[in-house]
Structure formats: C-alpha cells, structure tokens
Chain A
Amino acid sequence: MIDHLHIINFMCFKELEIPTLKRVNLIGGKNNSGKTTLLDAIRILKSNGNSAVVNHILNSRKIFKNGSDESYFHLSNYEKNKWPIRINKYCIKTLEVEGIYISRNYKTGKKSAFARLDPNIFINPPQEKLVYVSFNSNFETLSSLWEEVALTKYEDDVYEILQETIQPDLLRLNVGREVVNIRLKNVEKPIPLSTLGDGVNRILLVALGLVNAKNSILLIDELELGLHYSALEKLWEMIFKYAQKWNIQVYATTHSQDVLNTFHYVSDNEKYINDAQYIRLQINRQGENEAILFDGERLRKTLELQLEIR
C-alpha cells in the first residue's frame, strides 16, 4: 500500500502532494485536473520507471514519436526536461538502481525512492506488480487478465467473486474472441455472459483486476463508462470486500455523481469507512496542483447536504 504520494514535475503536475492514501481511493476533478495522470504516476512509480510502462503511457496518450528520446520530454511538466521527474512515497527500503534516486523526506526524515526519467540513463529495472484496467479498452484488457488466471488456482477466485456478486449459480467461464461464455448450474449449454444483464462484462473486468492484484495495486480508469448506476453499488461492494480480503489498494477515477454516491453508500459503515477516501484534484487560486481529501465523515456530511464536490 502506498500511504503518501509526492509528485514533482510530471505531465500536468508541477507539484502535487497527497498526504494520506487509503485502501480504496476514488479520484475526481474536472477535465485535465490530472486524474489519469495520477494513475500514470503510480504505474511509473510501481514499475520503477520501466520503459515498457512509460511507452504504454506515451502510446495511449498518442505522444510517442517512434521511440525517440524526445518523447520522454513530454512527460515532464517543464520545458526540455529541465528538472527531473520525481514521484515518491514514504518508503523504507532503499532502491539502489541507477536512475532511481533516493531522497530524504523533509517531514519524516525517512528515505524515499523516486524514479528519474532521464533518456540518457534510461534503464529497465525490475517491476513491482500492478494491475491497470481502463474501461476504454475493455475487451483487450479483459482477455489478457483472463489469460493470467486461466487454468491456475486463481481461476477459482474468479468464480468465487462472480458467484458472490452477480451470479450464484455460475460454474465456469470461458473468454473467447470478442465474447465471454459462461456455464450455469442446471443449464446444458454455454450462454453469453452479456445475457446476465447490463454492464456485467465490466463487472467481470474489475473482478479479474482484483484477482490479479492480490497484495498489490489495482488502477481503474473512468469507472463510470458504460455502467448503469444500479450496477455500481454491486461493483463497489465487490471492490471493498475483496480489496480488504486480498490486501489490494484500489485507485479509480470518475466524473460521475452516481459513482461517488454509490461509493459512499457502500463504504458508510463500520467495516469499510476507514478504507474509503475520495480525492478531488484541482488547480487552486494560486495556480498550484492540489488534492482535496474527503474521508468517510466529510463525504457523509457533504453528500447529505447535496453539495457539489466533483
């Protein structure tokens, strides 16, 4: 679990500090406030600046120029990579890899690690596990996540999570080309998963994300895409339950009031309230990046008064 983030000079962030992170973090804010960029920063941090991850980010943002070193400058907030990019967290272990710089946190005196993305010393250090699902590139991600667990003991976890959240009589699952088929108890032939209802493919996507992210981090970009609000409550119940059970830290971005409301409904109880945090990213009056943190209590107070906090 990352419990604190400090990002300097990365894409749209000049400097952003998030002093507290919880188990399940929902990230909101206007367009271009840096929601997806925050997820990208976590991907780079956990991959220790691995170039495959960096290239994927550059590709998905369509700023990759034939692998030229110039591309990396786009990751920097300043002109021409004048300052190194720093993404750091409280971290006791010291990473002694070239290109990973160690800094001392001014508050705690603890040493922190940050990845420096400098094309001249770019290296491919070992990556820590992390799962990234984007609701944009739905099926592709789904089949690759399925491949990770198919025919392993984790396949059983997929059945458990689906039986508990959407379909108690589900027996087996098969991800084929462009279609997911399932087998139900007392039904002879396979049926397409989509017959179970709206948005169930996306619920499966998150379920596979959770199974793959045990003891690690799950990032979900644009949680609301293609999901009716009635499916969202189920989805959050699944996320909170298995994030706790399997020790997963979750980051999800959204624009949707429905996502925010259902996040609150599901977490507003003794079991989950300390796991939940809503983070609004914004540019403050001084033009600085800022994260406004809503713990369970602040979320309850503001939503009860129907205040706009997106």
Chain B
Amino acid sequence: MQQRLIVEGKDAIVLTVILDKKGIPSPKGYHNKYKYKTEFVKMAEGESKVKTVLKEQLDSPDIERIGIIVDADKKGPENKFKGLIDFIQKETGETLTKPELASTGFYYQLKDKRTIGIWVMPDNLNEGYLENFVGAMIAEDDLTWQFCQEKVEELSKKDFCLFSETKTQKALVHTYLAWQKTPGLPLGTAVKAEFLSIENQIVNNFVDWFKNTFELVV
C-alpha cells in the first residue's frame, strides 16, 4: 500500500515539522526520512501541476490514500475545492457529493475504498495561503507581530513598495521572522525554534485532518 501527500507550493517542510512536533507518526511504510521526503510528499507549484501529480497517483493501482493541500488563493476555498472535485470525478468516473465547507477539511472514500483528503489553506473557510495559516501560529498580542503589521501596512502604502497586495501576508510573516532572536529562519526551522506556536485551533484541525486522511493513531 502506498500513500501520497500532495502540497501546492514549495514549502511542505513547515507542515511536516508541525506534524513531527505534534508527535504524529509517519504514515505506514514511510519511516525512512528520505523516502518520506521524496516518495510520500510531492510538492507542486500551481493548480495545474497539482492536477498533473494527482492524475498519476489516481492512475497508479498501488496508491490507497491521497492527501491534497492547496491554497484557497483569491478564488476562495469553495472554488478551489470544486476544481479538485471536478478533476477527481473526471479521472475516476465517480460522482462525488459535495460536502459543506467545514474548518475540519474534507474527506472522500471512493467506491474502491481509496481515501482522498483535501485541505484548503488556510482553514477551509477563508481566502488565503499557507502564510495565513502560519500567521495564525503567532499570538495576536505579540508586540513584535503588532509592530510588523503596522510597518508592513505603512510600507504597502508607499509608491516604492515592491510587493503586490496579494503578497502582503507573505511579506508580513517573513518580516516577523526577520525580527526574531535568530533573524531570518525559514518557516520549518522557525517552528522548531518555537518562534511559531503549534498550540492553536487551526493547527489542531489540520493535524486531525492529516491523522484521519492517513488513518494514524497517536
């Protein structure tokens, strides 16, 4: 039995670090770290590449569980989710009933017992990206965080501001990381260094979604 985690974007590491810190075991057969990184986790930049990866996993007779993590973007979770469901229906020939949006993520079991889990960043309910999910790992009353928000907003109003509006959250998160005790750590390392906290509801929902998708018992 093989399993796959498909992640839209370049930064799956932060998610695997979160799972590791939460004490979630690797899915069965992926305890070797290299195998986990290269075989279990598949990163794909952009929606069309996510679909390319997904198609190959659906065509393989060996893969029983697939977890898909995508960004809601500006399109919103509903559209992003529908795009994936339509694609899965087209590839498998199965009609899937559309569930309500829920903060806990989505699951499907196909007729042949394959499990497909879908998580739409940040929380299955709102527009946004991985960076919004990471933003939720910073306490609202963190003074550095509040200061960063002020400064990034101030900069975004200047005519020499280089980043576009859609990248504001990304700029904000990385500004925050730039101003920590060890400045400029990448997301995954920042979680390890506990600059980002794993104790919050969104992270817990995500961890539960992962556990359910890959049937992991802690």
- List the interface of chain A (C-beta within 8 A of B): 282-286, 290, 292, 301-302, 305, 307-309
Contact = CB atoms under 8 A, between A and B. Distances in A.
B52 A301 contact: yes
A257 to B, nearest CB: 13
A307 B42 contact: yes
B61 A305 contact: no
22 contacts: A282-B61, A283-B61, A284-B61, A285-B61, A285-B112, A285-B114, A286-B112, A290-B61, A292-B59, A301-B52, A302-B52, A302-B56, A305-B42, A305-B44, A305-B49, A305-B53, A307-B42, A307-B52, A307-B53, A307-B56, A308-B56, A309-B56
A286 B93 CA distance: 14
A260 to B, nearest CB: 14
Contacts of B215: none
A305 B52 contact: yes
A305 B56 CA distance: 11
Given A285-B61, A285-B112, A308 B39 contact: yes
A212 B216 CA distance: 58
Nearest to A30: B62
Contacts of B56: 302, 307-309
Interface string B21-40: 00000000000000000010
Interface of B: 39, 42, 44, 49, 52-53, 56, 59-61, 112, 114
Most buried by B among A282, A284, A292, A301: A301
Contacts of A290: 61
Contacts of B60: 282
A290 B61 CA distance: 10
- Give me the 9 closest cross-chain CB pairs, A-B, nearest first: A285-B112, A307-B56, A301-B52, A284-B61, A282-B61, A292-B59, A285-B61, A302-B56, A305-B53
Contacts of B53: 305, 307
Contacts of B112: 285-286
B87 to A, nearest CB: 15
Nearest to B39: A308
Most buried by A among B39, B42, B56: B56
Contacts of B42: 305, 307
Contacts of A292: 59
Given A285-B61, A307-B53, 18 more contacts: A282-B61, A283-B61, A284-B61, A285-B112, A285-B114, A286-B112, A290-B61, A292-B59, A301-B52, A302-B52, A302-B56, A305-B42, A305-B49, A305-B52, A305-B53, A307-B52, A308-B56, A309-B56
